[in-house]
Chain A
Amino acid sequence: MIFRNNDIYQLIPQRPPMFMVDVVWAATESDADTGLTIQENNIFVENGLFREPGIIEHIAQSAAAFAGYGTFVRGEQPKLGYIGEIKDCVMHEFPHVGDELRTRIELVAEVNGIRLINAEVHVQDILIATCQMKIFLKDD
């Protein structure tokens, strides 16, 4: 099942202008593929480039959407996710306005609501960023 644009409101609680995932291509229990097309009015665009905070936020929201997919399947409301730790984050390129990010999220481990994930962000076959994050999902 593919989620696009407003459909993603069912997976994550973020809303514009802090909405940094516009498609979830696929998700399983262990991984997910998400995307974002960089618009000129994106708040993290500077001089036509999508900068580091935007890439990190995109990864975090991709991880949250991945978790949200699980809650959606179970018929639950999406949970707010907090970045607990960022590790081994490398930015190789800055995407341009109009570029389509394609992001792979892999779940490494999960303990007591804290998820350790690996992320790889590409634009076509160009590696944009790699990162490891811990995301804490807050229970209501």
Chain B
Amino acid sequence: MEKNELIAKVNSVLAEEFEVEESVITAEANIKQTLQLDSLSLVDMVALIESEFGVKIPAGDLAKVQTFGALYDYLAERQ
């Protein structure tokens, strides 16, 4: 998958699941703040990413994936 396609799919999937406008999802935006994730819904995001993109994000890596830009890069490197 090309990176542009990946970004579009990430934005679409997350916007739908967490009921936000896609326009608020930008590379610089903080994931937890933008999607209003708490500790319980953070697990949902990790499960969704794994089911949609086949990439498991270990808890230790979550600290490195704070923004959507970091998430795009993380997924692109592992696909």
Measured in the bound complex, the distance between the Cα atoms of B42 and A84 in whole Å is: 13
Stretch touching chain B among A4-12, A90-98, A103-111: A103-111
Contact A116:B47 (CB < 8 A) given known A85-B40, A111-B42, A134-B40: yes
Interface size in chain B (residues, C-beta < 8 A): 11
Interface of A is mostly: strand
Q: Does A114 belong to the interface (CB within 8 Å)? A: yes
Q: Are A111 and B62 in contact (CB under 8 A)?
A: yes
Per-residue CB contact flags for chain B residues 35-69 toward chain A (1 = under 8 Å, else 0) read: 00001101110110010000010010010000000
Residues of chain A within 8 A (CB-CB) of B39 are 111-112, 114
Q: Which of B43, B46, B50, B56 has the most CB of A within 10 A?
A: B43
Residues of chain A within 8 A (CB-CB) of B43 are 109-111, 114-116, 134
Interface size in chain A (residues, C-beta < 8 A): 11
Measured in the bound complex, the distance between the Cα atoms of B59 and A103 in whole Å is: 27
Measured in the bound complex, the distance between the Cα atoms of B61 and A62 in whole Å is: 28
Q: Are B50 and A114 in contact (CB under 8 A)?
A: no
Residues of chain A within 8 A (CB-CB) of B40 are 84-85, 114, 134
Q: Are B50 and A109 in contact (CB under 8 A)?
A: yes
CB distance from B51 to the nearest CB of A (A): 8
Q: Spell out B's residues near A (CB within 8 Å).
A: 39-40, 42-44, 46-47, 50, 56, 59, 62
* Additional 13 contacts, C-beta under 8 A, given A114-B40, A114-B42: A108-B47, A109-B44, A109-B47, A110-B43, A110-B59, A111-B42, A111-B43, A111-B62, A112-B42, A114-B39, A115-B43, A116-B43, A134-B40
Selected A-B contacts with CB under 8 Å, 18 pairs: A109-B43, A109-B44, A109-B47, A109-B56, A110-B59, A111-B39, A111-B42, A111-B43, A111-B46, A111-B59, A112-B39, A112-B42, A112-B59, A114-B42, A114-B43, A116-B44, A134-B40, A134-B43
